[in-house]
Chains A and B, each alone.
Chain A
């Protein structure tokens, strides 16, 4: 019971991370192509500037919570995905200094350098995060000692000896780029005006069909690579409400974009990402990290969790801390509501 509660809490935190930092990463990935002049780039950075750091904290909070509630999963997956994870860390460093150091010098060479760094780092982070989700769904070669190690790639087939990148996880990475870029574009449309907004609108229009087709292709590929993902849906048909929500959210994005209802389009995009992740979590439960070969070796919420006393004590600080953290988020987003512009003010980006 406690294990299930923590499964939901960790899934909630990871989803919050993807939805919130997702728009920073998506906007960052589009930064070079969508924002052409220094004015436009500053506008884009101002739209994410006051919130990106807080959004990234969700990753740290989720990581720490995972470490506490499911120490074996944290230990096994972080060491097993050693190489891609260290690359994630490098890219997070690069993205952060690109956003924060760019404005310090009013020099086009300096600024172009960090603009490029922001776009490339954001794009590669999306590749790695997308592939990571693909790996968790596909399964990894877990040993009897609960540990594994995947190289970056082997033969690009999701067989018995997979790498972090194979055709399936690469497809997931492309999906992540498309869906998150759309998410970022819709956010920037909501927060800005002028040529940047227009260009983001055009990009969003072109991305939507890619995301729609990618969603279907991705789900089909998932069923091929890992047929067991349907088990929970068969056992508990109410779960089909999640794919339904995906479809509704996708339609909602298109409908609201057409009608120029910027805020709702973005909210539907939040809903889309949430539903996609909820669908994955529902399919996995109670497995946390499946074995590619033998289900008996799966890491589950039962064999990976901390002791019962840890799990119940944790609920105390988690609930208090989360209530406060959500309070800060509401405060920041409320203070920062509405469109941004470049007319002086307090911003520095």
Chain B
């Protein structure tokens, strides 16, 4: 592999992977804050206002981290993927520019009001500030997914004589079926993160025997949102996404399952390691015929294996694609099970006292971040060897005028900078959590 190409790929992969740790929580928490503020307006109980205030502080720190790591992304198409930008700017920059114009201005205007404007705006006005921030962040997510979806499944374009793409329909790029399915799947993923984080923090306070009133609220809101999100994650969004992908990126689907040979009644591998060289799976545990059923709804259907595609169109890193997919799907299933049991206990009124379940919920915190990251890895490694599926190969898109050494230099710079940001983020978050949701409590006053 060309050294510079490799560095530019790692550069983008690192900065985007790190970035997305934050927006998934931003987009996941934003609607939950709206829920808390709605409860406050409906019930007139100040505890909901305080709960919303607490989560708004957490949200604020997280939002800053998301914004500062997001800015480099807008520019890295040009810095590291110049040829790709030259060819596709006339299409893909439509959703990217629209994100800045339609979402970032909105968010920047209302975030300040959400964070610091409660007294000035009054309760109803402040509810609207929360709602607008929620709308802005979800709109922003849509534009990014639409940009990615165009790379996965290019629509509404024409190729000009100079090789550049141009957009042929304003709505075409925005109503790309791939974008709509991927958006639903991505947003339920973000909501999974937000609701697990909220439920987990509630479990943390309950297990710690402090701020129990708040802990119970966080737990209830988190689990109810969580059961909705984790169900939607699998069905219908995950199901639709998988089927649409099998139809339009069959090589990626074969790579996800490491299905080397086409097979009628294809099995689904639950565990095992793909051996690309010998085209087999080591240590397999399989459920027979499940893959055919999941994709085509019948156990007899034939699933295309990698043998159907020329080798230069195979996903370039099949083991990574395979593991990412299995981590994503495996964790998604586990989240659904955890949320189902939690929701059952909540319904029976026993969740607050089921310490074993609270432990599980608390310890689940890091896993939705891993699952969301793995999901994006599936999307982007599955798309390989293409930048724009079927039209522009990855090696045609990078900045050939930027050497591997210069790329490595700035990659190391970003790594160092983000290491510092990670420390600051974790420090401020821990302080906020230790301080707790109760207004003006010192540590001694923490028993609610």
B97 touches A67 (CB 8 A): yes
Given the contacts A63-B75, A101-B428, A309-B168, A79 and B402 also touching, CB distance less than 8 Å: yes
B99 touches A50 (CB 8 A): no
Q: Does B83 contact A (CB under 8 A)?
A: yes
Partner of A306, one of B60, B84, B113, B164: B164
Q: Does B96 contact A (CB under 8 A)?
A: yes
Partner of B64, one of A50, A76, A100, A329: A100
Number of interface residues of A (CB under 8 A): 65
A310 touches B105 (CB 8 A): no
Cα–Cα distance between A54 and B103 once the two chains are bound (Å)? 11
A61 touches B100 (CB 8 A): yes
Within 85-120 of B, Cβ neighbours of A (below 8 Å) are at 85-91, 93-94, 96-102, 104-106, 108-109, 111-113, 115-120
Question: Per-residue CB proximity of B55-85 to A under 8 Å, as 1/0?
Answer: 0000011001001110110110111101111
* Minimum CB–CB distance for B72 against chain A, Å: 4
Q: Does A147 contact B (CB under 8 A)?
A: yes
Cα–Cα distance between A77 and B402 once the two chains are bound (Å)? 12
B85 touches A313 (CB 8 A): no
Stretch at the interface among A86-94, A159-167, A227-235, A242-250: A86-94
B90 touches A93 (CB 8 A): no
B93 touches A93 (CB 8 A): no
Cα–Cα distance between A70 and B120 once the two chains are bound (Å)? 43
Given the contacts A101-B424, A328-B109, A93 and B101 also touching, CB distance less than 8 Å: no
Contacts of A214 in B (CB 8 A): none
Contacts of A74 in B (CB 8 A): 77-78, 85-86, 89, 93
Q: Does A260 contact B (CB under 8 A)?
A: no
Cα–Cα distance between A309 and B84 once the two chains are bound (Å)? 19
Partner of A346, one of B99, B102, B116, B403: B116
B100 touches A75 (CB 8 A): no
Within 146-162 of A, Cβ neighbours of B (below 8 Å) are at 146-149
Contacts of A345 in B (CB 8 A): 119
Stretch at the interface among A194-202, A265-273, A317-325: A317-325
Contacts of A239 in B (CB 8 A): none
Question: Per-residue CB proximity of A178-202 to B under 8 Å, as 1/0?
Answer: 0000000000000000000000000
A316 touches B68 (CB 8 A): no
Q: Does A72 contact B (CB under 8 A)?
A: yes
Q: Does B413 contact A (CB under 8 A)?
A: yes
Residue from A96, A307, A329, A332 having most chain B Cβ neighbours under 10 A: A307
Question: Per-residue CB proximity of A281-319 to B under 8 Å, as 1/0?
Answer: 000000000000000000000000011111001101110
Number of interface residues of B (CB under 8 A): 71
Contacts of A54 in B (CB 8 A): 105, 108-109
Question: Per-residue CB proximity of B241-270 to A under 8 Å, as 1/0?
Answer: 000000000000000000000000000000
Contacts of A96 in B (CB 8 A): 64, 67-68
B401 touches A86 (CB 8 A): no
Partner of B86, one of A68, A72, A329, A346: A72
* Minimum CB–CB distance for B234 against chain A, Å: 34
Question: Per-residue CB proximity of A95-113 to B under 8 Å, as 1/0?
Answer: 0110011001100000000
Q: Does A258 contact B (CB under 8 A)?
A: no
Contacts of A12 in B (CB 8 A): none
In the complex, residue of chain B having the shortest beta-carbon distance to the beta carbon of A63: B74
In the complex, residue of chain B having the shortest beta-carbon distance to the beta carbon of A52: B108
Given the contacts A71-B86, A76-B82, A79-B79, A89 and B71 also touching, CB distance less than 8 Å: yes
B112 touches A316 (CB 8 A): no
Cα–Cα distance between A210 and B226 once the two chains are bound (Å)? 60
Q: Does B377 contact A (CB under 8 A)?
A: no
A348 touches B116 (CB 8 A): yes
Cα–Cα distance between A50 and B120 once the two chains are bound (Å)? 14
What secondary structure prevails in chain B residues at the interface with A? helix
In the complex, residue of chain B having the shortest beta-carbon distance to the beta carbon of A318: B101
Partner of A317, one of B84, B87, B101, B166: B101
What secondary structure prevails in chain A residues at the interface with B? helix
B89 touches A71 (CB 8 A): yes
B166 touches A67 (CB 8 A): no
A86 touches B79 (CB 8 A): yes
B78 touches A83 (CB 8 A): no
A79 touches B82 (CB 8 A): yes
* Minimum CB–CB distance for A322 against chain B, Å: 7
B67 touches A67 (CB 8 A): no
Q: Does A65 contact B (CB under 8 A)?
A: yes
Contacts of A149 in B (CB 8 A): 401-403
Cα–Cα distance between A74 and B111 once the two chains are bound (Å)? 30
Contacts of B90 in A (CB 8 A): 68, 71, 306-307, 310
Residue from A101, A104, A313 having most chain B Cβ neighbours under 10 A: A313
In the complex, residue of chain A having the shortest beta-carbon distance to the beta carbon of B409: A83
A307 touches B424 (CB 8 A): no
Contacts of A49 in B (CB 8 A): 112
Partner of A329, one of B79, B105, B421: B105
Cα–Cα distance between A235 and B409 once the two chains are bound (Å)? 45
Given the contacts A64-B100, A314-B94, A80 and B170 also touching, CB distance less than 8 Å: no
* Minimum CB–CB distance for B254 against chain A, Å: 33
Given the contacts A54-B108, A80-B401, A324-B102, A60 and B85 also touching, CB distance less than 8 Å: no
Q: Does B442 contact A (CB under 8 A)?
A: no
* Minimum CB–CB distance for B381 against chain A, Å: 24
A64 touches B71 (CB 8 A): no
In the complex, residue of chain A having the shortest beta-carbon distance to the beta carbon of B86: A75
In the complex, residue of chain A having the shortest beta-carbon distance to the beta carbon of B97: A64
Q: Does A53 contact B (CB under 8 A)?
A: yes
* Minimum CB–CB distance for B440 against chain A, Å: 14
* Minimum CB–CB distance for B383 against chain A, Å: 20
Q: Does A331 contact B (CB under 8 A)?
A: yes
In the complex, residue of chain B having the shortest beta-carbon distance to the beta carbon of A313: B170
A67 touches B93 (CB 8 A): yes
Contacts of B115 in A (CB 8 A): 348
* Minimum CB–CB distance for A301 against chain B, Å: 14
Residue from B71, B91, B403, B431 having most chain A Cβ neighbours under 10 A: B71
* Minimum CB–CB distance for B245 against chain A, Å: 28
9 pairs, A vs B, C-beta closer than 8 Å: A63-B100, A67-B78, A82-B406, A96-B68, A104-B61, A306-B89, A308-B166, A313-B94, A317-B94
The 10 closest A-B pairs by CB, nearest first: A71-B89, A78-B78, A307-B166, A64-B97, A306-B90, A321-B101, A68-B93, A79-B82, A67-B93, A310-B90
A67-B77, A79-B402, A82-B410 given; name 13 further pairs at CB < 8 Å.
Answer: A64-B99, A65-B97, A74-B89, A75-B399, A86-B79, A100-B64, A147-B82, A306-B89, A306-B166, A307-B160, A309-B158, A317-B98, A321-B101
